[in-house]
Each structure stands twice: as structure tokens, then as C-alpha cells.
Amino acid sequence: MVEGVKIVTIGGGSSYTPELVEGFIKRYDELSVRELWLVDIEEGQEKLEIVGNLARRMVKKAGVDMKIYTTLNRREALKDADFVTTQLRVGQLDARIKDEKIPLSHGVIGQETNGAGGLFKALRTIPVILDIVKDIKELCPNAWLINFTNPAGIVSEAVLRYTDFKKYIGLCNVPIGMKKEVAKALGVDSERIDMDFAGLNHMVYGLKVRLDGNDITKEAVEKFLENNMSMKNIKNIRFNNEFVKSLGIIPCPYHRYYYKKEDMLESELDDFKEGKIRGQIVKKLEEELFEIYKDESLDIKPPQLEQRGGAYYSDAACNLINSIYNNKKDIQVVNTLNKGAISDFKDDEVVEVSCIITKEGPRPISMGYLPVAISGLVRNIKSFELLAAKAAVTGDYNTAYTALCINPLTPSDDKAKVILDELMEAHKEYLPKFYV
């Protein structure tokens, strides 16, 4: 029997990959990765080679016996894998820029995982992920698939609803970032903080906060407001203090798109007029990062990567893989089937919730009903996710249209149709199911 673990990362040419490599190096004593295969498509070949070479230098510096392979042949890479991670972007950053620009040109929020942008990212991504699932079932049926391709909630809904593949977990960096920010605001080590998370991807709330086992939710909410926590990729517009205090729980940074909709739209429209929407900024950041990655003397994850907006993503994946592999039974926040955890949802609907992580996968922790003040919004987004996943799988235009109409970021059914049709045309090459 060969010792060690084989891991395949699809979208291996991503700028996040050095963080993934760092995470596996850091955990090497517990999680001995013998092979890490980085897979990409032809358009990403140059980035793949740059990242692959940096990964090899990192492994060499760390002195660990981990082989790094780079390939454009997904099936070759998947053979006998133990874990597969997906971090891909169909249409690359140019597609994201269209997702943002087209809604904004009609005076509607343009964002890569919310509203129209989120819908179209899902429509492009889900067919690709489902193809990967088919390959995994054939070539490495015992492997776990850890997906952190956005929109993670809708992708998770599609895989767990429309395939019989159950060794799948969706992952997001938002809960980890929230916990770290709460700990920082309280001036304590994040290991001492426990937070109960419940909701959906990019629609998750910190329901309860404990410090050394003692409930400090009220104090944590106060500190959250003092520090106005956000993320690199979301404008730091302040929540109304009285509103958050009345909620009594901690919203995630993405809630600004719903609770501060007008302010966020105004800010995005200003950026749009100046030609500096987030997708364009990220494209420039990526170019700078890859120039840094090319430096043959670089053999660590560069600190500039944290500007990218996805800090902790890859570390979260390494942590999750380590916990499954070693049956750690620790608590992590993942996207998985509800199975009774949140009373507002059916058992077979995907939620983002605190889970005990075992070698059999996540066991969702019971959270009961969501507070009445948030349950309606969260349930609305779940309806949107269900229709978006169905549209991606079936290629049905009317389902996609209905999904966009019911999204709370859409101002009217007429505007939804105009935006939908423009985005359909803009992304035509990545939406073959809609053009059969």
C-alpha cells in the first residue's frame, strides 16, 4: 500500500494555490500529501506552470516529500485520487467583469455571487462541476470532492440534488473570516472563540458566540459594530447600529447587499463610471501576483495574496481535508444537506451550517428555527438558489428568468428580462444547454 494522500486541485493555476500548498505543508505531519496534482485548461496553462513552479520551490524549502504535478489532462490527474478540490472560474475574470458590468449598466447591483452575477456564474459553473463529478465517480469513486468554486451554495445544491454523488462538501471562507475578526475585536486568540453559524452561502449569520464556553453574543455584536467588519472584496459600508443590535446576531459582510442595498449600488455605480469595478481590480491584482510568483527566488506564499479577497479559502480546505482524513470530529462550517439542522429548511436542501467533521463527512449541528427577523430573507434566497440550480441543470430559460425575478436584488421583472437576455448573449459560449 502506498503511504500518503493523493490530492487533485482543479483550477490549479489559481492565484490561491500557494495558500493551498502552504496549508498542506503546515499539516504535513498529520496529513501526508504524497502527490498534489494541479489541473487547469489550455487558457490557464501559463498561470498553471508559474504556480506549479512556485509550489515546487515551497515544497523544497519546507523539506517535505510532496510531489507536485501540473497537467491539462483532468482524467489522468483524477485516477485514484483521495481528495479533489475545485477552485475554477468558467470564462475566467473577463466573464466576472461582464457579470458585474451588465447589471450595473441597468442601474442594478452587479456582483459575482449575488443577484444576476451570481445566477450567471452558477449557470456557467454547474455543468462543468457535474462533468467533474462524473469523472470522479469513474476514476476515484472513494474520493471526497471539496468545492470552493462560487457560488458555493448553488453549486452544492446542484450536485447534491441532481446527482447521486454524496461525498461532496461545499466550502466558503466567510465564516472563518468572521470568527477571526470577532476574536481580533475581542483581543483574544480565535481558538478560544466558538461561533454557531447558520444560513446559506454568503447569507450566513453568527447566531451565538462563546468565549471559553461562556455566551458572550451581546458583547461580540457590540464589538462587531465598533470594528465594522468586512472583507477585501466588499465595500466597508457601515451597518446601522440599532438594526444589528435589534437583530442580536452577527451578519456576514455579504449582507450589506441586502441591508444596505441603496448604498452598495451607489458605491458600485461610482466605481462603474470610473472603470474600476471589482472584477477589473482583481484582474490587475492577479497580473501583479503572477509577476511576483514568477520570481525564482520566491519560495513562500507572498503576503500580497491577502489583498485578493479570498484569504483563508485554501486554508479552510486543508483544514477540512485534514479533519476528514484523521476523523477529528471538530466543528467547521460547510455547505451540506440540512438533515434537520435548521428547522426552516427541508432535510434535502443545502445549508451553510456548523458541522462536526468525521471520516464519513459533515454531521450538521441542530440550530432550531432561525430568528424570525432573518428567516424570510434566507428562505427567499434559498428559493432563488433552488431555481438557479434547476436552470443550470436543465438549460431552461424560463426557470432562469423566474430565479432572477424573485431575487431581492432585482428591482422588477422587466429589468430582470433585459439583464437576463444581455447576460445570456454575453456568455453564450459557456451556456450550451440554453442554446440546444
Residue 165: CB partners within 8 Å, gap ≥ 6?
133, 136, 137, 145, 159
Q: Which of 192, 175, 174 is nearest to 183 (CA)?
A: 192
Q: Which of 88, 92, 149, 95 is nearest to 423 (CA)?
A: 95
Residues in the chain: 436
Instruction: For the chain, state the CA radius of gyration.
Output: 21
How many CA atoms lie less than 13 Å away from 128 in the CB half-sphere?
21
Q: Is the dihedral of CA 258, 260, 261, 264 positive or negative?
A: negative
Pairwise CA distance, residues 6 & 77, whole Å: 10
Pairwise CA distance, residues 77 & 9, whole Å: 9
**Which burial class, exposed, middle or buried, applies to 273 when counting CB atoms under 10 A from its CB (0-12, 13-18, 19+)?**
exposed
Pairwise CA distance, residues 256 & 193, whole Å: 24
Pairwise CA distance, residues 191 & 412, whole Å: 45
8 close to 81: Cβ distance less than 8 angstroms: yes
Pairwise CA distance, residues 54 & 299, whole Å: 6
How many CA atoms lie less than 13 Å away from 314 in the CB half-sphere?
26
Q: Which of 18, 100, 3 is nearest to 308 (CA)?
A: 18
Q: How many other CB atoms are there within 10 angstroms of residue 239's CB atom?
A: 20
Q: Which of 16, 168, 205, 254 is catalytic?
A: 254
Pairwise CA distance, residues 169 & 81, whole Å: 16
328 close to 357: Cβ distance less than 8 angstroms: yes
**Residue 399 Cα distances to 129, 322, 389, 391, 418, angstroms:** 20, 39, 9, 5, 15
Across 29-51, b (16+ Cβ under 10 Å) vs e yields eebebebbbbbbbeebeebbebb
Residue 28 appears among annotated catalytic residues: no
Residue 274: CB partners within 8 Å, gap ≥ 6?
none
* Residues marked as catalytic: 254
